[in-house]
A = this chain, B = another copy of it.
Amino acid sequence: MSETFEEPPAPTLAEVAKLANVSVASASRVLNGIGTRPETLSQVLAAAEQVGYLPNASARSLRSKRTGQIAFALPDVSNPVYASMARAIQEVAHEHGCRLVLHSTGADAEEELGILRDLRRRFVDGLILVPLNVTAAHLAEFGRAAAPLVVIGTVPESVAVDAVAADSRRGASLSVKHLLTQGRRRIGLVNGPLTTTPGHARRLGYLDALRATKQRRDDDLIEVAEDFTAEAGRAATLRLLERTRLDGLFCANDLLAAGALDALRHAGLGVPDEVAVVGMDNSGLVEITWPSLTSVDLGSVKRARYAVELLLERIDDPLRAPVRIHVAAELKIRASSSGRGAA
């Protein structure tokens, strides 16, 4: 049975110094690894150990203008891709002795802008932002961000901000070409909202592939889901199946694809025999769906890692010129699209 009394006040540097018979300055130096006589060093260390001293984060930040925290703002932690990004970022941050402040924006632009503006409070040393849609307001805020900023996503070259982008347009194109190679001719697209940057890019990639292979474009084959969730993917696929026939289907992310698989099953269509399906993100879902899901790897974890590294560099050198990193897309072929009884 432990007590619930008020905590004893946390030990301060002053107490450590007194206990070690040195000045606060010396104590501070020791604890920051600045040159001191071995004797004072051991005295301070012993004193600190004895009282269980740990520096107060607020005081240290106020003085040193470094919080030791970075923020990560993403649309939705529940989406496996973003979850894996969060994990990767937390890992790298942790290795650098840095804490992670998490913001779920719900893909709300106002929320995103609010976070950007809140940087003026200096509660973090920098921000990694994953916007779903980059508006003019975003670009303006990027330019005047009060702390180092790295954007994960596509940003016009003219905007001076560090960014790491996936090539989802090419990724989409890759996957459609893959389906064509498999002998599919009526390839549907289940896209996310066109107002989002990914939705826009993936549509272009889909069209690119058709154009490059001189396929006729048929808008009946294109359907837009309410959002990037499995449920929306299921609904969109059902709408698609109601009005047309298809033998291939590209979905703008894995969640949409998971929903699509379900819809196809309900419609009695075999995957991949009757309809081959490809998702995008190569998230943890790909081995959980059945059949296992062919998916475009957009290098989410890699992008996340680059983003933190870029951010930490930027924090150390705020003047360095903005950097753009592009991560290539790679198709991971699995059961949902590999051949069919009669290819």
Inter-chain contacts of A100 with B (CB < 8 A):
101-103
> Which B-chain residue is minimally distant from A289 (CB atoms)?
B288
- Inter-chain CA distance A102–B87, complex, in Å, is 9
User: Is the Cβ of B102 less than 8 Å from the Cβ of A160?
Assistant: no
Contact A58-B54, Cβ < 8 Å, known A2-B159, A86-B102: no
Residues of B within 8 A of A3 (CB): 143, 160
Contact code string A190-213 (vs B, CB < 8 Å = 1, else 0): 000000000000000000000000
Task: Convert A35-70 into 0s and 1s, putting 1 for each residue whose CB lies closer than 8 angstroms to a CB of B.
Answer: 000000000000000001011111101100001110
A158 → chain B, closest Cβ, in Å? 6
Q: Which residues of B contact A123 (CB under 8 A)?
A: 57-58, 68-69, 99
Please pick, from B58, B117, B121, the residue contacting A62 in the complex, using a CB distance under 8 A: B58
Interface residues of A in 107-121 (CB under 8 A from B): 117-118, 120-121
Q: Taking A99-B123, A102-B102 as contacts, is the C-beta distance between A118 and B54 under 8 angstroms? A: yes
Determine, out of A16-24, A75-83, A170-178, the stretch whose residues face the partner at the interface: A75-83
Report the nearest B residue to A53, measured CB to CB: B120
- Say yes or no for A319: interface residue by CB 8 A criterion: yes
Min Cβ gap A7→B in Å is: 6
Interface string of A277-302 (1 = CB under 8 A from B): 00000001101111000000000000
Contact of A142 (CB < 8 Å), options: B2, B118, B319: B2
Could you tell me if A57 and B4 are in contact, using CB atoms closer than 8 angstroms? no
Check if B104 sits within 8 Å of A87, measured CB to CB. Answer: yes
Shortest CB–CB separation between residue A16 and chain B, in angstroms? 13
Closest CB of chain B to A90's CB: distance in Å? Answer: 5
Q: Which residues of B contact A78 (CB under 8 A)?
A: 80, 83-84, 87, 284
Chain B residues lying within 8 Å of A160, measured Cβ to Cβ, are 1-4
Bound Cα distance from A172 to B293, whole angstroms: 31
Which residues of B lie under 8 Å from residue A318 when comparing CB positions?
Answer: 4, 6-7
CA distance A279 to B277 in the complex (A): 27
What CA separation (Å) do A146 and B8 show in the bound complex? 9
Question: Across the interface, do B287 and A288 meet the contact criterion of CB distance under 8 Å?
Answer: no
Per the bound structure, the CA–CA distance linking A258 and B286 in Å amounts to: 11
26 A-B interface contacts by CB (under 8 A): A1-B160, A3-B160, A4-B160, A5-B319, A6-B318, A7-B318, A55-B121, A56-B121, A57-B67, A58-B122, A59-B62, A69-B123, A77-B77, A78-B80, A78-B84, A80-B80, A80-B83, A86-B104, A90-B102, A94-B103, A94-B104, A100-B102, A230-B284, A231-B287, A288-B288, A289-B290
User: A-B pairs with the 6 shortest C-beta distances?
Assistant: A2-B143, A57-B123, A58-B61, A58-B62, A102-B102, A54-B120
